[in-house]
Amino acid sequence: MNYKDKYNQWLSFADEDTVNELTALTDEKEIEDRFYKDLAFGTGGLRGIMGAGSNRMNRYTVGKATLGLADYLKSKHDGEISVAIAYDSRNNSQYFAKTAAGIFASQNIKVYIYDRLVPVPVLSFTTHYLGCTAGVMITASHNPKEYNGYKVYDSKGCQFCTEDAKNAIKYINAVEDYSSIPFLEESQLIHYIGDKELDAFLREVKKQSLYEEKSDLKIVYTPLHGTGNIPVRRMLEGMDVTVVKEQELPDGNFSTVRSPNPEEKDALTIAIEKAKEIGADLVLGTDPDCDRVGIAVKNADEYRLFTGNQTGALLVHFVLAMKKAQLNDKSTLVKTIVTSELGAQIGRKFGLIIEETLTGFKYIGDKINKYETSGEQEFVIGYEESYGYLVGTHARDKDAVVSSMLICQMAAWYKNQGKTLVDALDEIYEEYGYYLDYLDSFVLKGKDGAEKIQSLMSYFREKGTALFDGVKEIVDFSMGIRDLPKENVLKYIFHDGSWMAVRPSGTEPKIKIYYSIVDSSREHASDRLEKLRMLIRNIVEN
């Protein structure tokens, strides 16, 4: 069917609210965008703008994904099947979670659903803790308010990786008749969970604590209207923490920020203002589903925002310094292919094995699963440049609860030495060289945008080394590199160890350009970065 046929089909079966929304559409381009394709699994499962249509997040696309997933689980597992479900603070998250619960129950699958909003790592933990066959988290992470999403986890609490996702999508695509989706309101197979499971998660997080000496460190924390408020504050009990009142409570419209993404400077603006007012040492912000955390550090009279790579490198150094006596020849650090080498260099100095994965924390979780099975390696820390970190194996996804606890303990450790995290980072640069990391994201929406992203990737491949000076090699991950799954990523490695990577986002209509410049001089690195960025802008915007 073409998009117009699909549009008309929806008008024939959808509920009244959906039909009203669709008939009110007057822009043909908008209708095309809503129906030219179905939402597809990317690096983070389903994710899309909420609204009516096959290319939107709504009760029908959630229903299709859930029914297909139920069929896949039944094809793979004999005996009782159970699924854990959780949701964040976004608009419709609870509604989508209950929609999924009803559909699983209609397929004779037992459901454990949270009676409150909780972070992503809590769902990851709970899936394994309750012995479930799979888990589902309704979230769009740090995306703007218009988005929602559907993440799927295996029995260990790791997001579906290549094989599972590929097989599940076959079953999801086989659900062609939206009118046949069995929406169920109530069932004896649906069980609500809450205090007991959350407490068990927090106990596991607390086991990762590394430094509990008293300190006069002052912290400002913002949950950015999300799920981190209660669990993060419980992990910071005993420390001097001021919570940003305007951003404390859940708000699916994220009314105080342009975007609830701690990677973006303005997300922490209100928290930094509060920090200036009370003279705090550290600003901490977690995204709506509390799997990412961003920080700003007092530096003289200002607050310096740290990148995910900088915070990651500091955490690597702190965790390894604190765990030095426990490290052995199996100890492993895992990072993604677009994460800076600085943390890896620190890990090597401590004698760790360094492993790389594709972008997406599910690949780090998958490594933990493999280490647990083989016993040949031991996971110590994993992180990615996009503000996601994990210490411990209680979860198989990035965890801003444990990360927030450790970042604050790290800041207290340095403060007791008379240092800030800025001082600590400068010491690391002094020892390992200066690393300047940057990310450019170009938003290219709709069908035209998707085609432009494809043509840009073709252009980068065709031009190869002719595009930039000083390229030592180009790594094309779509060809299959080492034991990594094939992925549409190009990485340009320069002779001095600097690199640049080009990658279409798996969850948003974006093409992302990652830069990592290694130099002894901050100024020289900045000049080189600007020249590269200008070249890229000319290519993408023309």
pLDDT tens digits for 379-433? 999 999 999 999 999 999 999 999 999 999 999 999 999 999 999 999 999 999 9
Dump pLDDT digits (tens) for 275-287.
999 999 999 999 9
Give the ranges where 16-153 is alpha helix by DSSP (H): 16-23, 28-35, 59-76, 93-106, 120-129
Which DSSP string corresponds to 246-313? GGTS--TT-TT-S---TTSGGGGHHHHHHHHHHT-SEEEEE-TTSS-EEEEEEETTEEEEPPHHHHHH
Residue 51 reports pLDDT greater than 70 = yes
Catalytic residue among 89, 124, 141, 516: 141
Q: What angle do CA 420, 425, 426 make, to 5 degrees?
A: 95
Chain centroid to CA 208: 21
95 close to 102: Cβ distance less than 8 angstroms = no
CA 167 to chain centroid: 22
The pLDDT value recorded for residue 43 is 53
Number of H helices, E strands in the chain: 17, 20
Q: Which residue has the tokens 């043909």?
A: 28
d(C-alpha 157, C-alpha 449), whole Å: 34
Is 404 annotated as catalytic?
no
Inform me whether the pLDDT recorded for 512 exceeds 90: yes
pLDDT range class, residue 40, cuts 50, 70, 90:
confident
Q: Burial level of 427, CB count in 10 A (0-12/13-18/19+)?
A: middle
Which segment of 76-85, 160-169, 331-340 scores lowest on mean pLDDT?
160-169
Cα distance between residue 351 and residue 327, in whole Å:
8
- Assess contact for 507 and 520: CB atoms under 8 A: no
From the list 250, 289, 388, 261, the residue with the least C-alpha distance to 86 is 289
Supply 61's token pair.
């696309």
Amino acid residing at 275: A
Mean pLDDT value across residues 522-533: 94
Mean pLDDT of the chain: 95
Rounded to the nearest 5 degrees, what angle is found at the Cα of 8, between the Cα atoms of 5 and 9? Answer: 85
CA–CA separation, 309 vs 428, rounded Å?
13
Dihedrals phi, psi of 363, to nearest 5 degrees: -70, -30
- Crossing angle of helices 3-13 and 16-23, in 10° steps, is 140
Q: Is the pLDDT at 504 greater than 90, yes or no?
A: yes
**How do beta strands 134-138 and 378-384 pair?**
unpaired
Give me the pLDDT at residue 446, please.
84
10 Å Cβ neighbour count for 56? 20
Quote the pTM value.
0.94
Q: Is 276 helix (H, G, I), strand (E, B) or coil?
A: helix
Cα of 10 vs its chain's centroid, Å: 32
* pLDDT of residue 506 exceeding 90: no
Structure tokens at 312: 């990651």
CB 383 within 8 A of CB 181: no
Helix (H) or strand (E) holding 308: helix 308-322
Residue 447's pLDDT band (boundaries 50, 70, 90)? confident
Backbone angles phi, psi at 233, to 5 degrees: -65, -35
